[in-house]
Structure 1
């Protein structure tokens, strides 16, 4: 469905809050319908995050939010440097490095020497990491499917298309500070 957006929100980190802050600014500048959109998105993301968090607390097989977010990012980017993961998600390199070490200890990722720079490493999913991510994604998709069971296929497709479009537009937009600087000039 809307895996891109759910993964972004799932990280709960700076990327999610940048989206929220950008939406807040846009809503204030453009009127009440965007304000209602911001509120609805925030509420939906919080509800889904709470549902996924509760699942990880009661199901020992469930991935915790940070683990899911990092595994999904490694899958999305392929073999990737930890510094690139940190930059893409707006996290500190030391935080990403600790998370990578934790996932590596569980056998879900492996660090490989960077062929372009022998001093650096790249992170890649292992087969077990891919399996864990696929299993978790299916469990989360089942939750979303259950929530949307009364929706028509057209409504689900429309929501998915719009969320993917919005996610792409947010990713392509300039940082919030640039919007603020431009509007005050």
Structure 2
């Protein structure tokens, strides 16, 4: 039995399905890793807190754009993180109508604990690839993202 035994029928030939399955398994593995480490946070909250830990302060719309979420979904994610005491909204000094989101001290401490979960998940996900294959995968994924980043213009 090879690796294909864990794929649904027809998945080997369907690139879109393979990409979706890879993402879903990474998310599931990460959430299991987080839970096993006593961290009550889901994948979406994880990536939001990760981005804020690396790039804060950000407006909710900047965070939504960076993570590929709509504003409504991001508001719910941020509300959940704020209720848990991991982020706070503060006035934006450059726009009195806007807010910026920053991790709290508890959020920064949580990120320090979560970081290893993400690293272990990606190490496991990429274990079957050598460094050249990992770099090739990064390059291909970047090209796919770039190709879809701009709207298709009619001929």
TM value normalised by structure 2: 0.71
Is 1:98–2:72 an aligned residue pair? no
1:81 touches 1:121 (CA, 8 Å); kept in 2? yes
Q: Distance in 2 between matches of 1:79 and 1:96?
A: 15
SS at match of 1:173: helix
Structure 2 counterpart of 1:110: 88
Q: Give 1:88-167 correspondences, 5 Å limit.
A: 88-146=66-124, 151=128, 155=130, 157-167=131-141
Q: Which has the larger share of helix? A: 1
SS at match of 2:90: strand
TM value normalised by structure 1: 0.61
Q: Give 1:25-36 correspondences, 5 Å limit.
A: none
Please report the RMSD computed on the Cα atoms of aligned residues, expressed in angstroms.
Answer: 3.0
1:55 touches 1:62 (CA, 8 Å); kept in 2? no
Structure 1 counterpart of 2:58: 80
Unaligned 5+ segments in structure 1 are 1-32
Higher relative contact order (CA 8 A, sep 6+): 1
1:100 touches 1:109 (CA, 8 Å); kept in 2? yes
Q: Distance in 2 between matches of 1:38 and 1:119?
A: 41
Is 1:44–2:33 an aligned residue pair? no
Unaligned 5+ segments in structure 2 are 1-11
Q: How many residues align?
A: 144
Query: Shift of residue 111 of structure 1?
Result: 1.2
